[in-house]
Amino acid sequence: MTPTKIVAYVAQVPDGIKITTLLEELGLEYEMRLVDVSKAEQKEPWYLEINPNGRVPALTDVLPDGQLVKIFESGSIMQYLVDRYDKNHM
Ligand SMILES: N[C@@H](CCC(=O)N[C@@H](CS)C(=O)NCC(=O)O)C(=O)O
């Protein structure tokens, strides 16, 4: 497992599951934070700071220089993960 500071904000929905599937396939260590859509947790201010669209999934990461990266939209998240952690497209 490659250590990272990734936090994946997901729910038990296909758009969330594809993010955790990719994280597992890439062998990345990550924290999974389940967002309770039934309680509209995705509309709470703390979550809107990460994803202003108020939808799951979202992902945060910390770059080597300490910069916090916040990403939303499942396709963009997957592109980020591949670009950053699968440079040789293994
Ligand atoms: N195009 C978005 C779709 C995200 C999306 O619609 N997520 C749904 C769950 S699958 C959601 O958050 N629904 C709750 C809401 O819209 O408030 C993506 O691919 O990330």
Ligand 1 atom with minimal separation from the 42 CA: 17
Q: Distance, CA 25 to ligand 1 centroid (Å)?
A: 22
Reported CATH class of domain 2-85: alpha beta
Whole-angstrom distance, CA of residue 26 vs CA of residue 51: 24
Q: Distance, CA 87 to ligand 1 centroid (Å)?
A: 28
Domain ranges of the chain: 2-85
The edge-to-edge listing of strands for the beta sheet with 2-10 is 28-34, 2-10, 58-62, 68-72
pLDDT digits (tens, 9 = 90+) for 59-70: 999 999 999 999
Q: Could you tell me the pLDDT band of residue 16, with boundaries at 50, 70 and 90?
A: confident
pLDDT digits (tens, 9 = 90+) for 32-53: 999 999 999 999 999 999 999 9
CB-based contact 47:21 (threshold 8 Å): no
Whole-angstrom distance, CA of residue 51 vs CA of residue 72: 6
Which residues surround ligand 1 with Cβ inside 6 Å?
13, 15, 37, 42, 54-57, 73-75
pLDDT at 12 over 90: no
Q: By alpha-carbon position, which residue is closest to atom 11 of ligand 1?
A: 55
